[in-house]
């Protein structure tokens, strides 16, 4: 990925989101630019206009943590956006590196045992490319539409979300789910700028999905470590589940994602029904036409 282009697009889009009123600046007459001017950002950050212009053109090389933090405050970046800016700066400081294909990370046997023991909740492990590397039987049942091609792992949840025709029915709040997925993938891209597999995935989605291409260009970055997600399962109907994302310690970034529901609620009963359905369909990837 072109780091300079990424930096330029990120800073430009963030500057456009901040109004003079939000920054506490006076406004006089008609403004030609949306959001703040470069000079206003420079003044708020305590740097020269020339220096900020160099940064916004994509050259973060040599920018100190203090300068980056000052720019983040001037642009009113949140914690995730500020971390993203620092990741971009670290990539700028790295010597040019050829992209490389990165093997799927190994999952420790102890982690697999923990996953297999989680029989009452859907649980899966994914990497930074959103490849699902391992899944409990209940997770396979929950994500049955994603496994329609068969039970083999890995499967990529990004491709399912944007390229599978069943995804929008599966996620009643598809727009929010998909937009959030793009924002999380952009964070992963900044942290892994030389991962050829990740770059290829982004290129494929950009070519084949108009919504992905639009949201990718927006440069939004955020990630939800917990929350609520709605599903419309083809066998058990509507489910509203709470999710938790746990970062697993190790050399490679892996995430354990779990779903649950309060017992006695419609979704809690739905999970029990899903477990019974899963017991009857040991291959959660069975095509819908063959399911009971």
38-80 pLDDT, tens digit each: 999 999 999 999 999 999 999 998 899 999 999 999 999 999 9
Q: For residue 290, what pLDDT band results from cuts at 50, 70 and 90? A: very low
The residue among 35 and 291 whose pLDDT is bigger is 35
Residue 157 confidence (pLDDT):
95
Q: Which residues contact 285 (CB under 8 A, 6 or more apart)?
A: 140, 144, 147, 148, 149, 150, 151
Answer yes or no: are the C-beta atoms of 183 and 223 closer than 8 Å. Answer: yes
Q: What is the pLDDT of residue 149?
A: 62
Tokens of 286: 């069975």
- Tell me the per-residue pLDDT of 122-133, one tens digit each, with 9 for 90 and over: 999 999 999 999
Supply the pLDDT for residue 147.
87
Residue 98 pLDDT exceeds 70: no
> What pLDDT score does 286 carry?
43
Residue 257 phi, psi (nearest 5) = -115, 125
CATH architecture of 3-93: Orthogonal Bundle (1.10)
What is the predicted pLDDT for the residue at 244? 96
Q: Is the dihedral of CA 9, 14, 17, 21 positive or negative?
A: negative
Which string of DSSP letters, residue by residue, matches 35-104?
S--HHHHHHHHTS-HHHHHHHHTT--TT--HHHHHHHHHHTT--HHHHHHHHHHHHHHHSPP---B--PP
pLDDT tens by residue, 61-71: 889 999 999 99
In this prediction, residue 148 carries a pLDDT of 81
The pLDDT of residue 101 is 65
Give residue 285's pLDDT band: very low, low, confident or very high (50, 70, 90). Answer: very low
Average pLDDT over residues 198-212: 95
Range 109-290 has CATH code 3.40.50.2300: no
Q: Which of 35, 47, 34 has its CA nearest to residue 76?
A: 35
Domain assignments of the chain as residue spans, ordered by start: 3-93, 109-290
């Amino acid at each position: 990925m072109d780091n300079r282009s990424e930096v330029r697009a990120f800073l430009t889009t963030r500057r456009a989101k901040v109004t003079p009123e939000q920054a506490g600046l006076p406004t006089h007459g008609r403004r030609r630019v949306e959001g703040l001017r470069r000079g206003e950002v420079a003044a708020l950050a305590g740097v020269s206009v020339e220096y900020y212009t160099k940064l916004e053109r994509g050259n973060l090389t040599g920018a100190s943590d203090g300068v980056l933090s000052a720019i983040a405050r001037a642009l009113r970046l949140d914690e995730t956006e500020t971390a993203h800016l620092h990741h971009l700066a670290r990539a700028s400081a790295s010597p040019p590196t050829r992209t490389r294909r990165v093997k799927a990370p190994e999952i420790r046997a102890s982690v697999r045992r923990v996953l297999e023991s989680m029989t009452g909740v859907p649980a899966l492990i994914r990497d930074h490319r959103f490849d699902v590397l391992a899944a409990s039987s209940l997770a396979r049942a929950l994500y049955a539409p994603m496994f329609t091609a068969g039970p083999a792992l890995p499967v990529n949840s990004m491709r399912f979300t944007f390229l599978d025709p069943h995804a929008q029915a599966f996620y009643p709040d598809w727009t929010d789910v998909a937009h959030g997925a793009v924002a999380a993938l952009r964070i992963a891209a900044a942290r892994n700028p030389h991962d050829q597999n990740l770059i290829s995935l982004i290129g494929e989605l950009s070519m084949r999905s108009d919504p992905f291409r639009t949201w990718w260009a927006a440069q939004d970055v955020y990630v939800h470590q917990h929350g609520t997600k709605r599903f419309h399962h083809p066998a058990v109907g509507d489910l509203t589940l709470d999710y938790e994302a746990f970062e697993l310690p190790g050399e490679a970034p892996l995430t354990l994602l779990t779903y649950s529901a309060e017992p006695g609620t419609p979704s809690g009963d739905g999970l029990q029904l899903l477990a019974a359905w899963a017991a009857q369909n040991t291959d959660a990837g069975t095509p819908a036409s063959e399911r009971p």
